[in-house]
Amino acid sequence: MSSTSTREPSLLQALVPLLFLSAALAGAVYLYGDNASYGANQISLLLAGGIAALVGLRNGMRWEDLQESLVQGVSLAVVPIFILMAVGALIGTWILSGTVPTLIVYGMQLLHPSFFYPAACLICAIVALAIGSSWTVAGTLGVALIGVAQGLDMSPAITAGAVISGAYFGDKMSPLSDTTNIAPAAAGSELFEHIRHMVWTTGPSIVIALIAFTVIGLGGGGRMDGGDAFGDLPVLLDAQFDLGLHLLIPMLVVFVLAMRRFPAYPTILIGALLGAVFAVVFQPEVVIGLAGNEALSRPMALLSGAWTALFDGFKADTGNAAVDDLLSRGGMISMLNTIWLIVCAMAFGAMMEKAGLLERMIRSVLKAARSTGSLIAATLGTAVGANAIAADQYMAIVLTGRLYRPEYEQRGLAPVNLSRALEDGGTITSPLVPWNTCGAYMAGTLGVATLDYLPYAFFNLASPLVALVLAYAGFKILRLRPADPVTAPRA
């Protein structure tokens, strides 16, 4: 911290960068539509961060301190960035190895269009509950389910909503999840008490989501033959790849490592490298074809093809443009735009926090939150807003928990009320913000724009609303017992 005297920002100063960002993002969408995330949004975030920095300078802060916070803020995204690159490599090698094509073919055989959406949601929920990672589920099963959806002539946007709904339900309720551990630590509650308390909001929310997906599925819109574009998808995949259940071993290895709480980055990278090995062993001709260099010897062509899949993804040439578009995916290079978006978003969030603008806004909110219901509503709103401003779910959880925890203690509210609100507002809504690390990850991994899948992420939309209803109804709002410690985390 600098020893230079600084002035406290006014509420108007705190709002100026947000107002500018809102106008800039709206302008970007108007001018560029779905392509706004390919540069326009990044410029909006950087300019808004610059305005926040100017406010800090105006109030007496030194540029050196702001720059240091910028470095620290962006450093929080380093691990997600490496995970993103590993997922890009994994998608490329798993298509090349036949793992994703195998999942697509078997999925088309087993999942009927009428129950595809709720089944996709349930499958992702179960696996995420077991491994505690929504990102891993989306990067593996999610990618395959998007392919199955297109093969069945189903909506990729609705499928992405189902994948994200299930993945985040399982992640939120799993004791293996990092956010499920961070939230009670930030609030001062106990892990399993926190999970039990979340049942009252997550239970109704996942039921609402499954009902919605079932209604949509029963309403039609899918075909077992895949429609005109994908009617011959199983035949094309079987002709290009040597398919079989043995090709699912890389996915099994990833899930086992995740269940054993192996770190996410090496887990996914191991899965990507294992996919490359399986491609060389079981799809050698496809690998050589991807290398595209007849001058190379066979061993070097195999190395080149597998290497290419890691950094540049897979390029299909089946003669069917729709199928080629479906399979031509992956590679670390495919994630670079998403990484650019995350870095710019984290820079904006760092400037807002360092300049004291976030804390200033939250203090104003707390003054208006007089009842218990309004306090929990303010917590939910702050966590959602922090997802948009700080662009990271961990920041949203920790920052909101740090700022609201004394108020909950002062009002005699049990810490589980705060930890549940942190998850309902912070964890669950993170994939709904296009420039948040989670929103950018899901869009980049599933190949569906955040604003396209947002209306169908029913669980993520319902959870904060259910929490809001329970808060104002006073249902399952626990009070502190005399013996409850309130000064240190118990997780």
pLDDT above 80 for 480: no
pLDDT band per the 50, 70, 90 thresholds, residue 197: very high
Q: What integer pLDDT is reported at residue 104 of this predicted model?
A: 85
Q: Please, are residues 428 and 454 in contact by the beta-carbon 8 Å criterion?
A: no
Percentage of residues in the chain having pLDDT higher than 70: 94
Percentage of residues in the chain having pLDDT higher than 90: 45
Q: What integer pLDDT is reported at residue 2 of this predicted model?
A: 42
pLDDT above 80 for 486: no
Residue 430 lies in a domain: no
pLDDT digits 0-9 by tens, 419-450 = 999 999 999 999 999 888 899 899 988 999 99
pLDDT band per the 50, 70, 90 thresholds, residue 222: low
Q: What integer pLDDT is reported at residue 120 of this predicted model?
A: 93
Residue 12 lies in a domain: no
Distance CA 291, CA 344 (A): 34
pTM: 0.78
Average pLDDT, the chain: 87
Residue 307 lies in a domain: yes
* Number of separate domains in the chain: 1
pLDDT band per the 50, 70, 90 thresholds, residue 490: very low
Q: Please, are residues 2 and 62 in contact by the beta-carbon 8 Å criterion?
A: yes
Q: Please, are residues 17 and 352 in contact by the beta-carbon 8 Å criterion?
A: yes
pLDDT above 80 for 100: yes
Q: What integer pLDDT is reported at residue 220 of this predicted model?
A: 66
Instruction: Point out the least confidently predicted range of 122-131, 190-199, 385-394, 422-431.
Output: 385-394
Q: Which two tokens stand for residue 335?
A: 């994630």
Which carries the bigger pLDDT value, residue 488 or residue 324?
Answer: 324
Helices (H), 248-371: 249-259, 264-282, 284-291, 298-312, 321-327, 336-354, 357-368
Strand pairing partners for 479?
413
DSSP of 44-98:
HHHHHHHHHHHHHHHTT--HHHHHHHHHHHHHTTHHHHHHHHHHHHHHHHHHHHT
pLDDT above 70 for 209: yes
Among candidates 389, 395, 291, which has minimal Cα distance to 349? 389
Among candidates 99, 112, 141, which has minimal Cα distance to 226? 112
| CA 392, chain centre distance (Å) | 10
pLDDT digits 0-9 by tens, 65-77 = 999 998 988 887 7
Residue 83 lies in a domain: yes
Distance CA 288, CA 304 (A): 8
pLDDT above 60 for 97: yes
Residue 371 lies in a domain: no
Distance CA 168, CA 439 (A): 12
Q: What is the span of the domain harbouring residue 192?
A: 78-334
Quote the Cα angle for 481-423-341, to 5°. Answer: 150
pLDDT above 70 for 164: yes
Which carries the bigger pLDDT value, residue 206 or residue 338?
Answer: 206
Residue 114 lies in a domain: yes
pLDDT band per the 50, 70, 90 thresholds, residue 225: very low
Residue 461 lies in a domain: no
Residue 376 lies in a domain: no
pLDDT digits 0-9 by tens, 340-362 = 888 888 888 889 889 989 888 88
pLDDT digits 0-9 by tens, 295-318 = 899 999 999 999 999 999 999 887
pLDDT digits 0-9 by tens, 377-393 = 999 998 998 888 877 88
Rg (CA), the chain: 23
